[in-house]
Amino acid sequence: MFKKILIANRGEIACRVMRTAKRMGIATVAVYSDADARSPHVLMADEAVHLGPPPASESYLLADKILEAAKATGADCIHPGYGFLSERESFARACADAGIAFVGPPPKAIAAMGDKIESKKLAKEAGVNVVPGFVGEIRDTEHAVEISNDIGYPVMMKASAGGGGKGMRLAWSEQDVREGFEATKREGLASFGDDRVFIEKFIESPRHIEIQVLGDQHGNVLYLGERECSIQRRHQKVVEEAPSPFVSPEMRKRMGEQAVALSKAVGYFSAGTVELIVSGADTTGESFYFLEMNTRLQVEHPVTECITGLDLVEQMIRVAAGEKLAFAQDDVKLNGWAIENRVYAEDPYRNFLPSTGRLVRYAPPEATGTDYSQPFTLTPDAPGYTRVDDGVAEGGEVSMFYDPMIAKLVTWAPTRDEAADLQIAALDRFRLEGVGNNIDFVSAIMQHPRFREGALTTGFIAEEYPDGFHGAATSPEMLRKLAAVAMVVDLAQAQRAATISGQLAAGSINLSPERVVTMDGEKFALSVAGGDSGLLVDFGGGQAMEVVGDWRPGEPFFAATIDGEPLTVAVKPVRAGWKLTAHGASHVAKVFSPRIAELAKHMIEKIPPDMSKFLLCPMPGLLTALHVGVGDKVEAGQPLAVVEAMKMENILRAEKTAVVKSANFAPGDSLAVDAAILEFE
């Protein structure tokens, strides 16, 4: 077995690999850029080697420097994680030439599957179903239009070396192809150094299902079940689960056997994933097609670990060391259900725009039932557990140079509904401040009736949130619970204030037990009295709720039990009330005494300024193009500017007909969020 492992990556996945390596008694080496000098993965490692400046092209993508670091520290193997160099054939080959084991598949398999065009040809030869499309060289935009017309719309344009949702454009018409083909080429070149593009038929109402494979260097290849990854935004996975609510045992076997056949055809070993696009409309399970093979560990690997009891990182290391798999296909058992939500630094209330900045507060929910110091085991009798995979710490920074994922929240339970319920409860306890985040959004998905039914497609988010996300739907019952919470925390705050020195004489505190709470257009006249084990909040008309919980002013969460049901509410004071966040939505509760509530209706509301005369930058980024100038007339929908952020080009369009009065920035300028790029007359 290896003595020392270098992890050629950063953040969450670097920490994940280190945890298993430490359990196996293997010393660890981290590499880092200037931006990551104080990151958790650097502090966790036994040794750390500096690579260079923050841009990946000057640090984490420098294969020579990483190999030098391995030699200098005496590392006898390198784990690439995912992204960066993980699927680069030249790096795997360079490791072999240097006499350092690459914890991953052989170079020839990476080469065969890394090129999406060639991989489809190989898949077809291996008898795997493939999607209709054009896999040759596309000369220019006119050629792309001709190909798309022949295939039939809609079509998907993809960078051949793409991944992670980058370099992909959906075209519903010839005009979409003309607008998007060159942008797809540019994104492929910027992100992967390869501007080749292929075009294939886009299957409407598709499901994205993938098969986890695992092979050793002795010719054994197994499949470890499937993962459902259909809930995506801009082709980036958001929610993953295992198993899939759509896949039957017979379908799983057919998919798994095709994935194994493809893996054997290219001499594959280590962990890998065969991604399939599946027609959700075909209940026979026959309509599944090869999409691509990822020759690395997937971001969503924890859900497979949870239902199989296998540590995939450990298996990768053992395979790289030449060990045979210690189990056969019949030994692979799937137990319970696991769901993973990716917590991103993005603002779902602003069309999911990326967010950067410092993590002023970071306190994920407590992990339960996951001990990295012990081998993974199946727990068929457990009620469920929560797992958090992250690589950040409070005070750290979410940088513009890297992926915006902050953490992966994983829950396991005997059933799918129980796993989703655990997600909601854990997300309610997730404290994250300083950057925009999608916690409310993924909580809303967990509660969505369509998600609970398992009726998923890759269009789920676009179909269910066509006008953007504005918070999870809140039932009347939940609103009443939050009103009761507002009453209890306001009373606690008043009691605290009344005991401050000099406010009242000792023993003379006599606070009013009545409040009026207004929230989301509803008005509640409440009173409170002592209950059997907590406070009884009376709504009048014979309706009351017992609230049990110990909240003290200043605490960020109120972990309450309301009428016997647990509920964790994030509590933040605002003017004349409280901002309460639970179950994927925030609510401002104004709390007054009955007398003040009568007077409050006379207060004049502050009207926000009209910003419709400006083109505002929706995210921090670089202005790469400005398509209009002063005096130009623009029409609704017309492209005005292009802003690049996180290596993605974002086209800003006119919302209405107008005339450009002034341009405040030029191409090449860096923009802050809400910067006024243009002003209209």
Residue 444 · residue 468 · CB < 8 Å: no
CA angle 347, 350, 356 (to 5 degrees): 40
Distance CA 490, CA 485 (A): 8
Residue 253 · residue 192 · CB < 8 Å: no
CA angle 227, 404, 616 (to 5 degrees): 125
For residue 415, give the DSSP letter.
S
Nearest to 578 by CA among 569, 568, 591, 565: 591
Helices (H), ranges, 502-564: none
Element at 124 (helix H, strand E): helix 116-125
Residue 69 · residue 29 · CB < 8 Å: yes
Query: Residue 377 CB: number of other CB atoms within 10 A?
Result: 10
- Dihedral over alpha carbons 119, 403, 78, 393 (to 10 degrees): -150
Distance CA 102, CA 88 (A): 11
Distance CA 451, CA 461 (A): 11
CA atoms within 13 A on the CB side of 398: 27
The DSSP line for 623-642 is EEEE---TT-EE-TT-EEEE
Neighbouring residues of 447: CB distance < 8 A, sequence distance ≥ 6: 420, 424, 472, 473, 583, 584
Pair of tokens at residue 554: 């200043």
Place of tokens 């058992």: 333
Pair of tokens at residue 191: 């992100």
Distance CA 564, CA 562 (A): 5
Distance CA 208, CA 201 (A): 15
Active site residue 200: no
Pair of tokens at residue 320: 């790289």
- Dihedral over alpha carbons 229, 233, 235, 240 (to 10 degrees): -10
Is the bond preceding 639 in cis, omega lying within 30 degrees of 0? Answer: no
Burial of 220 (0-12, 13-18, 19+ CB in 10 A): middle
CA 46 to chain centre: 29
The DSSP line for 469-490 is -------HHHHHHHHHHHHHHH
543-548 and 270-279 strand pairing: unpaired
Helix, strand, or coil here: 125?
Answer: helix
Distance set, CA 73 to CA 28, 191, 465 (Å): 10, 30, 50
Given 187, 292, 300, 340, which residue is catalytic? 292
Burial of 380 (0-12, 13-18, 19+ CB in 10 A): exposed
Query: Residue 608 CB: number of other CB atoms within 10 A?
Result: 6
Distance CA 402, CA 387 (A): 23
Neighbouring residues of 386: CB distance < 8 A, sequence distance ≥ 6: 365, 366, 367, 368, 369, 370, 409, 410, 411, 422, 426
Over its C-alpha atoms, the chain yields an Rg (Å, rounded) of: 27
For residue 350, give the DSSP letter.
G
Q: Which residues are catalytic?
A: 292
